[in-house]
Structure 1
């Protein structure tokens, strides 16, 4: 008879996830790319999940934490609960995300501050190629699909151009902000940080995270986390249903979201309005402009756009080779 430790180990290995070191390393790399995207204003980790072929796996992994899992947990059937959830998949992915967030945040801040055109050019290429990779999944590409692409694109285009608003600081609204912002994790084209800015709660939430053990701040963090937990559980199920029931139309709308998001990552911008949040300048409003001329910066930007496109196509080819 197996010991409890062996039973738990077997249950862990039976859960969905990479089966060898190579598969785990590749999933970590995809998580790293997602984390790198999440710290870029206007770029979503959900986009990276889509182009690397793990989008539906991610949605299913989040959905695995369901009522049956909770029942097994409360009945102390730990091995059964562990076998239910996609823990190995999520651990590899989350480790990659955290590695990128911790290791790349300062680098990305430096690049966006000192080399904005070049940095945005690379991400413009990444998202442009992502549109092609995701759009390939639309079958059939008919009139309805085109309508949903247009609707998704228009909605995303308008959303990323909105100016952050002033909103209340009540706990119910903080809960709502958590539920909305977390959806960006699995929604291509929109970033959670941008949604918090738009809801007027970016500074409020980040300020509480700076001193999390102050009683009032701890309560705010817990309420925000509860909203995020409920939001991602509900939204993942909605997305799963839509992908299962209307796959082509859902993918069409998600493709449209990424097309609209190109407005945010256009390399050449003119800042119209800023705000100082915790000593840092944040852009509230800007407009896209044409390049100043065909100089060295312009050709470097074009090269980086092409490099971003090639990186996505290469990652897509590697991902298909490991499915």
Structure 2
């Protein structure tokens, strides 16, 4: 029961991260040590699994699916998305530098942790690390596109965003922003619009099933290379998480508020010393928190 509760909270953390543009639920899965099991469990979902259901019954089917694990994670993510969307929006609006500082520390510490897991930082792995940094960095500078609200595009948005979500360092929420669907989906969640949410969810499921197979294969055959690339994604994503920014382009959202669309990172203004100190302090908290969780995880595994 305790393990199930901890797993549920990991799902909640993933869901909370997925709401924030710039932070990835995949990052949280990697931080909390469930990433590879999550990818492998999703990969198992295919037609052969349903043959087991009809031939051997629900118990064998559920075991093969790793159903308890997936269901607990799913419930945690769902609970976070529906209960924390407004809270996180409030925190980002009123405690921006503290929250981004915390995420900055979490992601930076995670990148260091993953790099340490790479058995050999040879020239190929270093190149992949740099490639990941460049890709994630470039994505953070892209501008949102004008897109339709048709069913097929909502489906495609779900498939694309969830693919980004399970990649640590690539934010599914930010991809939705680029597709001009972030506010659209958040409003659907707030209004509990089942039609839009159902289409989006089906897109997410299809994207998950397809991309999890690719990731599972890569982790099995090229683990060090993938860890190097993911480390790069995490480091590159710090550009998006950095809260001291110059606004290049803005727009008025559906609630009549002005929001930044395209920004560029800049050195913090020393006149706003309190913001800088809050950012540094919460970055340290985030960094230390991940270091503590990693040491605790290693200790638990030894026991």
> Fold match, TM over 0.5?
yes
Is 1:50 aligned with 2:37?
no
d(CA) in 2 for partners of 1:60 and 1:193?
23
Checking the alignment, whether the CA contact within 8 Å between 1:160 and 1:190 is kept in structure 2 is no
Residue 243 of structure 2 is aligned to residue 267 of structure 1: yes
Q: SS where residue 290 of structure 1 aligns?
A: coil
Please tell me whether residue 304 in structure 1 is matched to residue 282 in structure 2: yes
Give the distance between the partners of 2:61 and 2:249, measured in 1 at CA: 51
Q: CA deviation at 1:134?
A: 1.3
Partner of 1:243: 219
- Structure 1 residue 207 displacement after superposition: 4.9
Distance 2:124 2:141 in 1: 26
Q: Which residues of 2 match residues 96-245 of structure 1 at below 5 A?
A: 96-209=76-189, 210=191, 212=193, 218=195, 220-245=196-221
1:68 and 2:48 correspond? yes
Equivalent position to 1:292, from 263, 269, 275: 269
Q: Offset at 1:169?
A: 3.9
Where 2:270 maps in the other structure, the secondary structure is coil
Specify the SS of the correspondent of 2:170. coil
Match of 1:11 in 2: none
- CA distance in 2 between partners of 1:101 and 1:208 (Å): 12
Residue 204 of structure 1: CA displacement?
A: 4.0
Secondary structure at the residue paired with 2:117?
coil
Q: Deviations over 1:37-88 (max 9, x none)?
A: 1222210010011111111011012122222212233558222212211111
Unaligned runs of 5+ in 1: 1-20
Which residue of 77, 91, 107 maps to 2:71?
A: 91
Aligned partners of 1:252, 1:22: CA distance in 2, in Å?
33
In structure 2, C-alpha distance between the alignment counterparts of 1:300 and 1:226, rounded to whole Å: 40
Runs (4+) of structure 1 moved beyond 6 Å?
Answer: none
Q: Which moved more, 1:148-157 or 1:184-193?
A: 184-193
Question: How far does the alpha carbon of each residue in 1:237-267 deviate from its partner, in whole angstroms, 9 at most, with x for none?
Answer: 0000011111111111111111110001113
Find the residue that maps to 2:21 and give its secondary structure.
coil
Unpaired stretches in structure 2, ≥5 consecutive residues = none
Per-residue Cα deviation, 1:209-233 (whole angstroms, up to 9, x for no partner): 53635xxxx2x54443332211100
Name the structure 2 match of 1:4: none
Match of 1:82 in 2: 62
TM-score normalized with structure 2 length? 0.90
Shift of 1:103: 4.0
Superposed displacement of residue 24, structure 1: 1.9
| Distance change (3 Å), C-alpha of 1:229 and 1:101 | closer
Max Rg structure: 1
Q: 1:33 to 1:169 in 2, by over 3 A?
A: closer
